[in-house]
Amino acid sequence: MRAMSFHPPQRTLMGPGPSDVYPRVLEAMSRPTIGHLDPVFVVMMDELKELLRYAFQTRNALTMPVSAPGSAGMEMAFVNLVEPGDKIIVCQNGVFGGRMQENVERAGGVAVMVDDAWGEPVDPLKVEDALKAHPDAKVLAFVHAETSTGAQSDAKTLAELAQRHGCLTIVDAVTSLGGTPLLVDDWGLDAVYSGTQKCLSCVPGLSPVTFSERALERVKARKTKVQSWFLDLTLVLGYWAGGGKRTYHHTAPINTLYALHEALVVLREEGIENAWARHRRHHEALRAGFEALGLSFVVKPEARLPQLNAIRVPEGVDEAAVRTRLLNEYSLEIGAGLGVMAGKIWRVGLMGCAASQRNVLFCLGALDAVLTDMRAPIQSGVAVGAAMAAYSA
């Protein structure tokens, strides 16, 4: 085999992640690599933590990026806060609540499941019933923004219920961070994890996390050793703690951390409230276009994520064939359904810099053209006009 450089095609990424990456972020990755204990790099690390606090809307001292994707952030939360025998209430309304259950069980805990239909938000009444039925529960775990369905749950109300019953919260904010309001301190969330490749428009590979003082006290009071050496907070803190000499733990992904720093600078420059409003504005135009085509959403308007749109596939349409044509003919990527939604929906992302008028109109035009050519039961030729009318309004 002859070795050759890899040159990927230029895509427009409008699936469930990764999203398009800001050119400034890609440029940041190309900057010179320095040592992960270099004093200059240490200064950048402290800036990065402060920028993450802004993104999470928190003052938590322990706010940092885990040197691995969002799944590692999830695992860090569970392995540190769950001990063998602990009872954990886990809410499932999609794929990622099921992954929470898996993490609880692998940490030796007992998962008490609160199930809701896929596409519905977590029901606070069911959660309250579970908390009353299990007064010995230690943690309430839920997904704020369920990537598999596009449903957003009421994190503030769920956190209030947890506090009332003496529980900590573990919250999946992988798809919500930077795209929809997430107020860690105001809502009283304890352990929150996210990813870099969604609404932050950064490259994949890091998991921003934040832990409250309540959560840290629970970690310090553990009776058993954390099962993961790499994700043990008591060890990682020696490297990410500020204000003093850092202890070597692992070689950080230096250039990827440059990228996250730049992505967070971009977010700070735009203003987080403006970023939330931008995602909402372009979602409303995309929604108008989809509905003009005759396509319907899985999630009701009041629980719908602006950055992740789950759309039902029209009857008789081969959803995989549509995605293939969009990729091959338009270099446009949208996502398929997962789990019970497989083959039934498309997941269209409007995340980070992909949340733009150009992408909304491009996606609607391409989808309209492909579905029309496949003789799908839609209203052809009206989607782009409906979106433009929404922008004008």
Which of 353, 363, 55 lies closest to 202, judged by CA? 353
Instruction: Let me know whether 241 and 346 are in one domain.
Output: no
What was the pLDDT predicted at 244?
58
pLDDT for 359 beyond 80: yes
In a domain, 114, yes or no: yes
Count CA atoms within 13 Å of residue 132 on its CB side: 6
pLDDT for 384 beyond 90: yes
For position 213, which CATH number holds? 3.40.640.10
Query: Mean of the pLDDT values across residues 236-243?
Result: 73
For 56-105, the pLDDT digits (tens) are: 999 999 999 999 999 999 999 999 999 999 999 999 999 999 999 999 99
Instruction: Let me know whether 182 and 237 are in one domain.
Output: yes
Instruction: Let me know whether 81 and 138 are in one domain.
Output: yes
State in Å, rounded, how far the first CA of the chain is from the last one.
57
Quickly list H helices, the chain: 23-29, 39-56, 70-81, 95-106, 124-133, 155-164, 184-187, 213-220, 233-240, 254-270, 272-293, 319-330, 357-373, 383-392
Instruction: Let me know whether 202 and 224 are in one domain.
Output: yes
pLDDT for 240 beyond 80: no
Query: Mean of the pLDDT values across residues 237-244?
Result: 70
Instruction: Let me know whether 250 and 350 are in one domain.
Output: no
CB 204, CB 195: distance < 8 Å: yes
For position 356, which CATH number holds? 3.90.1150.10
From 216, 235, 269, give the residue that closes a domain.
Answer: 269
pLDDT for 163 beyond 60: yes
For 250-260, the pLDDT digits (tens) are: 888 999 999 99
Instruction: Let me know whether 96 and 148 are in one domain.
Output: yes
Instruction: Let me know whether 60 and 118 are in one domain.
Output: yes
13, 159, 182, 389 from 187: Cα distances, Å: 32, 7, 8, 36
Helix (H) or strand (E) holding 63: strand 62-66
Instruction: Let me know whether 157 and 299 are in one domain.
Output: no
In a domain, 84, yes or no: yes
100, 150, 286, 335 from 292: Cα distances, Å: 37, 20, 10, 21
In a domain, 309, yes or no: yes
In a domain, 215, yes or no: yes
In a domain, 195, yes or no: yes
pLDDT for 213 beyond 70: yes
In a domain, 9, yes or no: no
From 219, 242, 269, give the residue that closes a domain.
Answer: 269
205-230 in b/e form (b: 16+ CB < 10 A) is: bbbbbbbbeebbebbeeeeeebbbeb
State the chain's mean pLDDT as an integer: 96
Instruction: Let me know whether 265 and 277 are in one domain.
Output: no
What was the pLDDT predicted at 157?
98
Q: Which residue bears the tokens 């999609």?
A: 94
Helix (H) or strand (E) holding 210: strand 207-211
Would you place residue 249 in the very low, low, confident or very high pLDDT band (cuts 50, 70, 90)?
Answer: confident
**Number of structural domains found in the chain:** 2
Instruction: Let me know whether 337 and 239 are in one domain.
Output: no
Domain span at residue 281? Answer: 272-392
Phi/psi of residue 103, nearest 5 degrees: -65, -40
In a domain, 357, yes or no: yes
CB 158, CB 142: distance < 8 Å: yes
Instruction: Let me know whether 154 and 110 are in one domain.
Output: yes
Residues in the chain, overall count: 393
Query: Mean of the pLDDT values across residues 225-241?
Result: 87
CB 133, CB 76: distance < 8 Å: no
From 217, 252, 269, give the residue that closes a domain.
Answer: 269
In a domain, 311, yes or no: yes
- Give the lowest-confidence range in 10-24, 245-259, 293-307: 245-259
CB 58, CB 210: distance < 8 Å: yes
Reduce the DSSP state of residue 326 to 3 states and report it.
Answer: helix
Instruction: Let me know whether 258 and 348 are in one domain.
Output: no
Q: How far apart are CA 84 and CA 384, in angstroms?
A: 55
For 184-210, the pLDDT digits (tens) are: 999 999 999 999 999 999 999 999 999
